[in-house]
Structure 1
């Protein structure tokens, strides 16, 4: 349990729990609510431009005095990434956690550190974990194949965590993938993790921007409700992803492309083609069930849409406010 306060201290929060950055779902309301509950809330940037990135940081900061994270995805942001990062650093009014999906470019970690911020890097292999730690990451998150969303590897989280720890990486390591219950968090802590990173658990937060039909489908999910597929590659090619099963994932052949919905992104109304990586949000209208409804294997244990503070409490076994991180280990 010694790693628990160390990890939380490195991240600047009370509890060793991180809400994943989920494009379209993890907006300022969710990030601020999770931060207020004592965990690390994260606002997702995905493909947004610099001005929108700055606005997301400012809006999150207006709703919490706590540390929060900002998620960037180098392989998706592409040439927009430097402008996104610059805008985030300029807009920051406190220490932030820059949460990077996949290995960051060589300039990112030094730039974040020079500005006084912490860097968390998500990886899917032990080799990438070692490289990220050597390149200066402050915290790692190892993503198992149980995770919802896009995958960085193909290993179960427990196996990957064990290998990374056996290699003696020099920074705290979070476990990610299929985590919905306090006993799962406790098991990963006993195995040596410094905490957990959770996504699907927070898709069903009342403050999340996920479409209500998407949330309801997760609540209704059964034992075998998710699958790993490559059917939602438009906008994010080359990464397999875990989603709720649907007519799109189960068809013998990829269904012919056509627009299945409309959504709004940074004020623009856009059509959503079948096979798009876009997630159904509160702004989406149309065929929600034909879209990419990302969800991890832990969806089978989700029973309701709840406030983020209640989700934090359920995952840690502690009241969401007023508890010190030193009590997490004994509570779990």
Structure 2
């Protein structure tokens, strides 16, 4: 296999500067272990799962490999500790319709005890990571100084997910070790600034390693951001379509079938902007965006049907977070093979650029 290394590799103790994103409902122990074992940085998504589930996934990874592991925890500043339930007569019509359609397919929709993204939940998960010596903590939706200090106490590095230059400045001021700049092209929770512009904005002032994210699914793209100055790539959607990811076959097939303009970035998922594939889950909101409840009430109201449809892997009613790079993905492969392919493609693209472009210092 080709050699691909940046200073980020030494900082994190990994072989290749490719980091698998902590995608909710997608990235659990099997995927994280496969990526880490293959030389990248595998990540467990720890925002929605219970602390007990997070601990189980960490133990699973540790039973497979001793390579560095990352756990992605959410720290949004507006997160309530105990979200109030949404009254039945306040539930938006689109959510009611989705529930009816899901039930019509024999799927039970029931209340969800969702404590995710509350500060106490995050602290409990941090304590679990400390207990197992997790090497890297990814801070999503915010990077509080206390979280960085806690991670550093047991020797872990912190990665901060940002969608604006101002967020990167704040994370750096709070002591984070690495900044991942995610362009609007990315799937899941994402901002509104394109990757190439955002990456350059942050590179202009960053004093720590910067990693690029958002729509990156090929080695040629990774080569591009490395040339621009990034020290690594944070890859999400490409790793959804692996054998080890935890979503169902219908989710993965939807990505294979996606065209280059089939994603939308809306507030319907949980009240925060999320990019996802268009399907019935998104179409039911057309012309009715005025019924959105806002975060966190939208998350509370839609969670029962969202989790039920995901558990049943319903192709139409399931929320399908995915990036704009979906149109470039045409297969479902083992995660180690995807990592190897990305490394080989990146090296090939860098070599090709040398032959294609004439320049002198």
Distance 1:113 1:272, change over 3 A: closer
Q: Between Structure 1 and Structure 2, which shows a larger proportion of helix residues?
A: 2
Q: How far has the Cα of 1:280 moved from its partner?
A: 6.0
2:323 is aligned with 1:296: yes
Q: Which of 66, 83, 88 is the equivalent residue of 2:129?
A: 88
CA contact (8 A) 1:221 1:299 kept: yes
Q: Which of 287, 293, 311 is the equivalent residue of 1:253?
A: 287
Q: 2:315, 2:250 → 1: CA distance?
A: 7
Greater shift, 74-83 or 109-118, is seen at 74-83
Distance 1:186 1:280, change over 3 A: farther
Greater shift, 214-223 or 50-59, is seen at 50-59
Gapped regions of structure 1 (runs ≥ 5):
258-270, 320-325
Q: How far has the Cα of 1:272 moved from its partner?
A: 5.8
2:196 is aligned with 1:158: yes
Q: 1:177, 1:21 → 2: CA distance?
A: 13
SS of the equivalent of 1:170 reads coil
Q: What are the superposed Cα offsets for residues 221-274 of structure 1, whole Å, 9 maximum, x if unpaired?
A: 1121111112222xxx3x11110011332342349x9xxxxxxxxxxxxx9644
Q: 1:21, 1:98 → 2: CA distance?
A: 10
Gapped regions of structure 2 (runs ≥ 5):
77-115, 292-301, 354-361
Distance 1:318 1:184, change over 3 A: closer
Distance 1:331 1:210, change over 3 A: farther
Q: How far has the Cα of 1:156 moved from its partner?
A: 0.3
2:345 is aligned with 1:306: no
Q: 1:299, 1:122 → 2: CA distance?
A: 21
CA contact (8 A) 1:34 1:40 kept: yes
2:32 is aligned with 1:5: no
Q: How far has the Cα of 1:84 moved from its partner?
A: 0.8
Name the structure 2 match of 1:222. Answer: 259
Map of 1:138-177 to 2, 5 A cutoff?
138-151=177-190, 153-166=191-204, 168-177=205-214
Greater shift, 14-23 or 103-112, is seen at 103-112
Name the structure 1 match of 2:217. Answer: 180
- What TM-score comes out, normalization by structure 2 length? 0.77
CA contact (8 A) 1:109 1:119 kept: yes
SS of the equivalent of 2:276 reads strand
2:210 is aligned with 1:209: no
Size of the aligned set, in residue pairs, is: 299
Q: 1:17, 1:280 → 2: CA distance?
A: 31
CA contact (8 A) 1:316 1:328 kept: no
CA contact (8 A) 1:28 1:59 kept: yes
Distance 1:179 1:279, change over 3 A: farther
Name the structure 1 match of 2:173. Answer: 134
Q: What are the superposed Cα offsets for residues 184-210 of structure 1, whole Å, 9 maximum, x if unpaired?
A: 000000000111101100001100001
CA contact (8 A) 2:251 2:313 kept: no
CA contact (8 A) 1:18 1:39 kept: yes
Q: 1:33, 1:331 → 2: CA distance?
A: 29
- What TM-score comes out, normalization by structure 1 length? 0.83
Name the structure 1 match of 2:344. Answer: 317
Q: 1:29, 1:181 → 2: CA distance?
A: 22
2:67 is aligned with 1:66: yes
Distance 1:241 1:279, change over 3 A: farther
Q: Between Structure 1 and Structure 2, which shows a larger proportion of strand residues?
A: 1
Name the structure 1 match of 2:39. Answer: 38
Distance 1:297 1:13, change over 3 A: same
CA contact (8 A) 1:227 1:244 kept: yes
Q: How far has the Cα of 1:287 moved from its partner?
A: 3.2
